[in-house]
Every structure is written in C-alpha cells, then in structure tokens.
Amino acid sequence: MSRIFRITVSHSILICGVLLMIVPLWLVFASSTHSNSFIYNEGMQWKIGGEFFDNYDRVLNRKGGFTKEITASGIFYNSFIMAFGIASLSVFVSMMAAYSLVYFKTRFSTLFFWLIFVTLLVPLELRILPSYQIVSDLNLLNSYAGLILPLSASAIATFFFRQYYRSIPEELLEAAKLDGANSWKFFIDFLVPLSKTMIAAMFIFMFVYGYNQYLWPLIMTTSEKYWTVVMGLKMIYGGNSVDRYTYVILSLIPPVIIIVFLQRLFIQGLFQSK
C-alpha cells in the first residue's frame, strides 16, 4: 500500500515536471502551424493548424535583416558553428590545462589553478571592451574565429576536469609509466577514454553556453552574415507574428541534436565519478 502510494506521489511529481517543460513547447509548436492572421486574431493555439509547411519553409529560406543577407537557416548554421567551436575548443583547452595542473607538479600549480578559477569572476560581459579591442586588432571581426576564440577557455570546465583527474589513482599513472607510456600517451590512452563521460557533459554545457551567446556576437558582428540565433530572434523575429514561433521551434533543433547524441554519456558524467 505504502509502496503504491510512494510510486504514485513520485510519478505525479515527475509528470508535473514533464508537463511544465512540454506544455509551453507544445503551445509554441501548435501555434507555429497556423496562419499569421489567425494567430493575430485568436492568440496562441493548442491544436495543430494547416500551415506547417508554408510557415517553416518561409522562415527557413526568407532573407531577413536590414540588408537581406541572411536566412534563418544561415543563422542556425552560424550559431551551430560558434557553439560547436566553443564547446570543442573549451573542452580541449580545459583538459590540457587540467592535465598540466594535476600531473606536472610545478611549484605554483595550485596558484595557477586559482588564477584560472578567479577568471570566473570576470565574465565576457565585464571585459567586453578589451576583448573587442583585441579581436579587432587581430582583424577577426565578422569571422567565426572571432566569435569562438574569446569564449573558448573555460575555468569551470578546467575545474571539473581537474577534480576528476585528481580522483584517478596515482598507481594508474605509475603502472602506465612502467608499461612505457609517456606523458602524451598517458593523456590519450588513459585520461581521454576515462573522462569520456565528463567530456560529453562539458561539451553539452559549453555548447549550450555558446549557443545562447547574445551580447558578444551582437557587438562584434557588423555584417549580418554572421548573425546568431538569439540575435536573429531579436532582430528579425521580434514582432508578434507566427514566424516567431516557427523560429523558436527551429532554433531548438541544433542543441537537441547534440543532446540526443551525447545523452547517455552526459547522464553518466553527471552522476558517476568514474
């Protein structure tokens, strides 16, 4: 009896959570399949309408912005490149940084670690002017490299990798040394496969972080060709039209793809230390 009660309670909580996530999404999706005037008059809809193909085709392929140089599909592509670049680079950089901090026992490695960690207190928004200056001096304005590089060193990911590496027993390194593994081999043959789940988790975090960037791309892109998702939402689809709903639904796809691919590893990474 009490078991059934417990299951009922926990499942109701879970179902509530799912509904909380799904219902707004469904509302937006259903609304995105109606005609513009219908939505304008009737408000958001629960039922699916008949304009799905027309709406999605229009949003994906219509040139928007002031100079009509960019389509929504171009925007998604830009953001995907940016987020993917930030995620891959920051995972790579953090792993290397953590590796050197943990395994090369330099005298000030703890100090270096805290210096890296302190950069958390100086987010991009705070150093946006000097960052712009640097990127501009390097002639990287209006380029993918300019979008990616300033965001590709992550203190938090370095912290996670460092903590994880420290939990790996010292004997493993020693055994590997006796088996003839040099520093590079130990990294490739041991740390990378052992931290697979951690890599997946960090990749997803950094991907979403990169995908959600607004201020940095807004400041450093003057060409509409390099507009990103959140900018597009503001600049092109800010009005009260059905296209906005369509755009929101479409913008969900790239992160969802990443999560679908890495989901299994991601969950393991969050809940297991090994």
Catalog residues that contact another protein under the rule CB under 8 A: 169, 171-172, 174-181, 185, 189-190, 193-194, 274
Considering the complex, state which of residue 137 and residue 171 has its C-beta at the smaller distance from another protein.
171
Considering the complex, state which of residue 2 and residue 167 has its C-beta at the smaller distance from another protein.
167
Helix axes 196-211, 72-103, angle to 10 degrees: 140
Nearest-angstrom CA–CA distance, 200 and 205: 9
Q: What's the min distance (Å) between Cβ of 271 and another protein?
A: 16
Q: What's the min distance (Å) between Cβ of 71 and another protein?
A: 44
Q: What's the min distance (Å) between Cβ of 180 and another protein?
A: 4
Q: What's the min distance (Å) between Cβ of 163 and another protein?
A: 18
Considering the complex, state which of residue 48 and residue 176 has its C-beta at the smaller distance from another protein.
176
Q: What's the min distance (Å) between Cβ of 189 and another protein?
A: 8
Considering the complex, state which of residue 157 and residue 173 has its C-beta at the smaller distance from another protein.
173
Tell me how long the chain is. 274
3-class secondary structure for 9-58?
Answer: HHHHHHHHHHHHHHHHHHHHHHHCCCCHHHHHHHCCCCCCCCCHHHHHHH
Q: What's the min distance (Å) between Cβ of 272 and another protein?
A: 12
Helix axes 253-271, 72-103, angle to 10 degrees: 20
For 107-112, the CB contacts below 8 A with 24+ separation are none
Considering the complex, state which of residue 185 and residue 264 has its C-beta at the smaller distance from another protein.
185
